[in-house]
Every structure is written in C-alpha cells, then in structure tokens.
Amino acid sequence: MADHKSNAKAYWQANLRLIIISLAIWALVSYGFGILLRPMLSGIAVGGTDLGFWFAQQGSILTFIALIFFYAWRMNKLDKEFGVDEE
C-alpha cells in the first residue's frame, strides 16, 4: 500500500512538473515575447511584420498548439512509465 502511494505521488509530481514547464513556456512566448519584449523584437522582420507582433498574433497560438501535442506525447510516455496507460 505504501509503495502504491509513493508511486502515485511520484506520478502526480511528474505530471505537475510537466504542466508547470508547459505553462511557463506558454507565458514566456505569449506574454513575454508578445507584450513585454515586443519593443526589443520590433527590429526583426518576420512575414512583413516585426517579430513581437508575430508572437502576439500567431506565435503564441502555434506555441500553444505545439505544447498540446508535446503534453499528450509526454503524458503517454509518463503513463507507460508508471503503469497507468490505457493500452
């Protein structure tokens, strides 16, 4: 019983770590690059506009979609690692 609890706790900690890292990346890209660092990125042209505007409009959305796929892939590996996978 104690082994099951420690295994569940380790699984939950790994899941939380993955969520926190994903949210930090998304916050950096959307809020950091799109708002806070936009003046520093304004000199870099991407697709006819500056990089800060691109991150605010498309970059944060594309990053969010990539993070969704990364999270699903990593959680499947984590599930198999801890023996809670569906297959």
Q: What is the mean pLDDT of residues 5-34?
A: 92
Residue of 66, 86, 67, 68 lying closest to 76 (CA atoms): 86
Report pLDDT digits (tens) over 31-70: 888 888 888 888 888 888 888 888 888 888 999 999 999 9
Task: Quote the pTM value.
Answer: 0.80
Residues whose CB is less than 8 angstroms from the CB of residue 12 and which lie 6 or more positions away in sequence, other chains included: none
Q: Would you state the structure tokens that stand for residue 20, as one six-digit string?
A: 């926190």
pLDDT top residue among 42 and 26: 26
